[in-house]
């Protein structure tokens, strides 16, 4: 079910530059508050955690509650001191993890 996450960040940055990262992932974010047509509570199923690391070091993370809208959008920043790889991970209540990677180079 997991679709490819959408991620936007520059391909390269100057040393010391702070870049903006935008992420959007497809997920229903079922709150556990809603009831189906039979009046039965629809069980909660959300992305409960997002984490971003760069070359293995944590950059930004976010614990998410059912009050986050469906198809979670998360935007944050990162300071670039070296070239390397961003790793992104969205953790579902059911234990599955959606992952993605993006590389960034240093401007010559």
What's the CA gap between 67 and 76, in Å, rounded?
A: 19
| Min dist. Cβ of residue 9 to other proteins (A) | 10
Interactions with other proteins, residue window 77-96 (CB under 8 A)? 77-79
Q: Is 52 in contact with 87 (CB distance < 8 Å)?
A: yes
Per-residue contact string for residues 40-79; x = within reach of other proteins by CB under 8 A? --------------x--xxxxxxxxxxxxxxxxxxxxxxx
Q: Is 104 in contact with 21 (CB distance < 8 Å)?
A: no
Q: Record the tokens describing residue 18, joined without a space.
A: 């702070």
Report the residue from 10, 24, 83, 92 that binds other proteins according to the rule CB under 8 A: 24
| Min dist. Cβ of residue 82 to other proteins (A) | 11
């Amino acid at each position: 079910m997991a679709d490819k996450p959408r991620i936007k960040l520059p391909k390269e940055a100057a040393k010391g530059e702070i870049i903006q990262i935008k992420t959007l992932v497809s997920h229903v974010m079922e709150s556990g508050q809603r009831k189906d047509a039979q009046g039965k509570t629809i069980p909660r199923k959300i992305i409960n955690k997002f984490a971003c690391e760069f070359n293995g070091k944590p950059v930004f993370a976010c614990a998410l509650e059912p009050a986050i809208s469906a198809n979670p959008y998360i935007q944050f920043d990162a300071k670039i001191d070296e070239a390397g790889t961003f790793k992104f991970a969205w953790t579902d209540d059911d234990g599955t993890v959606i992952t993605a990677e993006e590389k960034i180079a240093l401007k010559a």
